[in-house]
Amino acid sequence: MAEEKNETDTAKAGALRSSLTIELHSHYAIRLWEGRKRQPDDLRERGRPQILSMPRVIQRAGLMSRDAEGDNPYADMALLKLENALDLATTEIQKLVDELEATLKAIPARISLTDVSSVSPLNIGVFSRTPLGYRCVWLLVGYDQLAMKVFQASHYGLISGKERDEMLSNGGHLVRKVYGVAQHYRSFAVTRADLEQKTVIASEAVKLLGDVDLDVMAGKMLSTFSPNLKKLAENSEASE
C-alpha cells in the first residue's frame, strides 16, 4: 500500500500580491500627477520649465534603487536626498493640513461641515518598484487633501483669498522640489569598488557627478530604503 503524503509537506503558499488605487480630487494635484512638458512661450524668451509627471518620478525612483542594488554610491546619495526631501515636504504639508483643520473646526456651534470631495475624482492605479516611489504618491495625495481643505475654508470665508493662494503655492512648491530630486538624477554605471580603485570609469563619474559623500561611500549614512543598507551592515559585522 502506497504511503500517504502529508499535505503539509507539499503545500506551498502562492506569491503575495496587492494592488493600489488612489483618488485625486483637485485640479492642482491632478496637474502635478500629469506633469508639464517643456513648451515654447511666445511671450517670453524661455518657455515654462518642464515638470515631471508622477509616473516618471516613480520610474526615476526605481532607477535609483536599481542602480543602488549594483553598489552605486551616487544612487545611494540620490535615494538619501529623495527621502530627506520627502520627509521635509510631508511634514510641512501636514502642518498646513492641521492648521486648516483647526480653522474649519473653529466655527459657531450648531454648524457642521462635511468633508469636501470631487463629484468625479480621478482614479489611478499605482505601482512602484521601490517604497520611495509610493512615498512620492503619498505626498501628492496629502497635497490633494490640502487643496480640498484650502478651497473649503476659502469658500466659507474662513481664510482670505491671499491665504488660499499662498497655501496652494507653498504646498505645490514642496511637491515640485521632490520632483526635482528625481528629475536631476543621472544614472552612471560606477561602483564603490571603482571609486576605491580609482578606475577610468570612476574618474569619469567624478568629473560628471562630483565627489561622493564619504559617509554615504562608507555606508554610514544611507536612505532607510537603500538596497545596500542590509548588505553593508552584514559586511561591517563580518569585519568586526
Residue, of 227 and 100, whose pLDDT is higher: 100
Q: What is the per-residue pLDDT for 43?
A: 46
Q: Give me the residue label for grid cell 536631476.
A: 184
CA distance 227 to 65: 7
Q: What is the pTM of this model?
A: 0.84
pLDDT at 237 over 80: no
d(Cα 228, Cα 68) in Å, to the nearest integer? 7
Predicted pLDDT of residue 110: 84
Residue with cell 511637491: 175
User: Is 236 a residue whose pLDDT tops 60?
Assistant: no
CA dihedral (37, 19, 144, 94) positive or negative: negative
- Confidence band for 46, pLDDT divided at 50, 70 and 90: low
Tens of pLDDT along 130-166? 999 999 999 999 999 999 999 999 999 999 999 999 9
Band (pLDDT 50/70/90 cuts) for residue 98 is very high
Nine-digit cell string for 140: 501628492
CA-CA distance, 150 to 148, in Å (whole number)? 5
